[in-house]
Structure formats: C-alpha cells, structure tokens
A and B are shown apart, each in its own frame.
Chain A
Amino acid sequence: MSYHKPEQDFTLYGETFSSRFLLGTALYASPQLMRDAIIQSRCEIVTLGLRRQNPANRDGDAIWQYIQQSGCRLLPNTAGCKSVKEAVTLAEMSREIFNTDWIKLEVVGDDYNLQPDPFGLVEASEILIKKGFKVLPYCTDDLILCKRLLDVGCEVLMPWGAPIGTGQGLLNRYNLRTLRERIKDVPMIIDAGLGAPSQAAEAMEMGFDGILLNTAVAKAHNPPLMAEAFGDAIDAGRKAYKAGLMQKRQTASPSTPTIGQPFWHQQ
C-alpha cells in the first residue's frame, strides 16, 4: 500500500516540472563541476545571465554548452540591474538570445545587501508583462509587495530567504509563514540566502513550492554532492509538508505506553 497522495503538480506559467529545485550556474570552480552539479541536483530549471565580454574571451562557451546539453529550462536573470530601464532592456536582450520569455526579474535597491527595490520591481514587472514576458520576480518577503506583484500579473513569486550569497537561511520566518498563509494558490519559490540543505527542507516543510539557490552548491567543497543533498532535502521537506507536521508541545509526553510499566508498585 502506498501512503503517497498524488503529488500536486509543480506548475509555473503552464509548464509542469517534477523537480522543485532550481539551480544557479555561476561561481563554480570549473564548467565541469557546474555540469555535474546540475546532473546530481536533478533540477529541471537553471538560471543564467548576460554580461559584457571581450569577443576573444571564450570562457563562457563551455558553460553555455553544458547548460544546453543539460536539457534544463532556461531562466535568465536581470542580476545587477539597478533601474527599471536597465532591467527591462536586459530582459529584452535575454529573450532574444535565449529564445524564452521567462525572466527572473531582479531590480537591486541596495548595494550592501542586494535587497530588491520593491517599487522598481513592481514597475518593471508591469512593463515586462505587457511586453509578453513571464516574470518570476526575486522579491523580499513583504506581503504587500507580493500582492502588488500579483496585481500586475506575476503568476509566480520568489521571496528571499536571506540576502544573496549569505547562506543565512530563513531570516524572517514570521513573514514567510504569513506569505504562505495569505497567498495560498500562487507558486512561491524561496530564492537566495540558503546555505544548508536543512534550511531548504524547512522552507519546503512550511509549504513553499520550490527552492532556487546557487552559492550554497557552487561554493561547497564538493558541489555535485551538495547539489544532491539539496535535492534530497527539498524532496524530504515536500513529503513532510504533505504528510503534515505534528503540533509542538511545551511538555514531554511519553511515546512508550505507561500502562504495564514494570517495577512500578502502588505506594
């Protein structure tokens, strides 16, 4: 007998995926390690970017070849853009070069913690959606911001766990729980800030739909093995969410029956 309930689809903009893990392709020590991490993660979506490069520099070619060979869906980003105009222009460049209207929209509001600019994010989302893009906004865990992003047509939200590259885990559980409670029917992916598989499992146990990360895998001593560990943790967290966690209690409660306890005598 199987106790598995039929898995709800992980569907983003009408496309269904069996993996809930989205992996970044930057910061690996070699293109081969990136390739192996993608394979071991079992991910089906990878993020990538666009940058100025000297035409003689072919460093990016191997990365691009491996990404293509992976068969993963491409999710280009607008990383580093600090204005609506920059983000919109880079999204248009991405759409042409990668032949996809999916965009991980980043509008950076602060250089210190790379915090998304909520006002620019909403404005850029609205413009891009009118241009036919399918926007996956990298946002903070602010409920009202997320509602505004839905208002302008975003069908997926990607709130941060912590600032990019910090490995801090879920910094604001109250906000994240509130988001999940108040926005039940929209896919939400925790994007950025996770450092350990246990943190990814916790996010999935809270009911988030997927995990996007890069640094925690790329900067591990063994990126392919860490990618596999994150994949396992995301699967475990999802199963735990579906199974339903027990309620926490303040006091101990024996799990072994107290009736029939040996060596006990009425005083």
Chain B
Amino acid sequence: MTIELSVNNESKSLAIDTLLSDALQTWGYGNSKIAVAINGEFVPRSTYTERALCNGDQIDIVKPVGGG
C-alpha cells in the first residue's frame, strides 16, 4: 500500500505508515537545517520519529535563506 502526498508542492509517493523522520531521509533532507509544517501546522523536530504520514498530507520543508 502506498500513500500520495505533496512535498513543497510536488507529488510524492510513500509506503503507508512511513514516519516523517524516515521520509526526510528518503527525500535527501537527512542532515539539513530544516523546519517542517504539515497541513499548515508546525511539526517540532522532537516529534519527527513519532509522526506517521497520511495520504493527502501537504508538507512544507523550509531552509534558511537571505531575507529583509
């Protein structure tokens, strides 16, 4: 079984019950300085290993950039 979700507005497929921490490794964010929101809600780093992703989740992953 797979689920479909959106990562930074791109479609992705994952095995059902994949944890956020594992998904971030799969997508190449393993050692990056990132922060995550799912469906518009902030997800603290301390919960990545507990958060199972769901079909239809909209995930935002952000990194530092220059800003004014």
Contacts and interface: CB of A to CB of B under 8 A. Distances in A.
A93 interface: yes
A60 B63 contact: yes
Contacts of B61: 52
Contacts of A213: 68
Interface of A: 24-28, 34, 47-56, 60, 63-64, 67, 76-77, 79, 85-86, 89-90, 92-94, 96-98, 164-165, 192, 213-215
Given A89-B40, A97-B35, 20 more contacts: A24-B66, A24-B68, A25-B66, A48-B64, A49-B68, A50-B67, A51-B62, A51-B63, A52-B9, A53-B62, A60-B65, A76-B67, A77-B67, A90-B62, A96-B44, A97-B33, A97-B62, A97-B64, A213-B68, A214-B68
A260 B41 CA distance: 80
Interface of B: 8-9, 27-29, 32-37, 40-42, 44-45, 60-68
A214 B68 CA distance: 6
Nearest to A78: B67
B41 to A, nearest CB: 7
A52 B33 CA distance: 12
Given A25-B67, A79-B68, A94 B35 contact: yes
Closest 7 CB pairs of A and B: A49-B67, A24-B68, A214-B68, A93-B35, A55-B28, A92-B42, A26-B66
Contacts of B63: 50-53, 60
B28 to A, nearest CB: 4
A98 B28 CA distance: 21
28 contacts: A24-B66, A25-B68, A26-B66, A48-B65, A49-B68, A50-B62, A50-B63, A52-B9, A52-B61, A55-B32, A60-B64, A63-B64, A64-B33, A67-B64, A76-B67, A85-B40, A89-B37, A92-B42, A93-B42, A94-B35, A96-B42, A96-B44, A96-B45, A97-B34, A97-B35, A98-B64, A214-B67, A215-B68
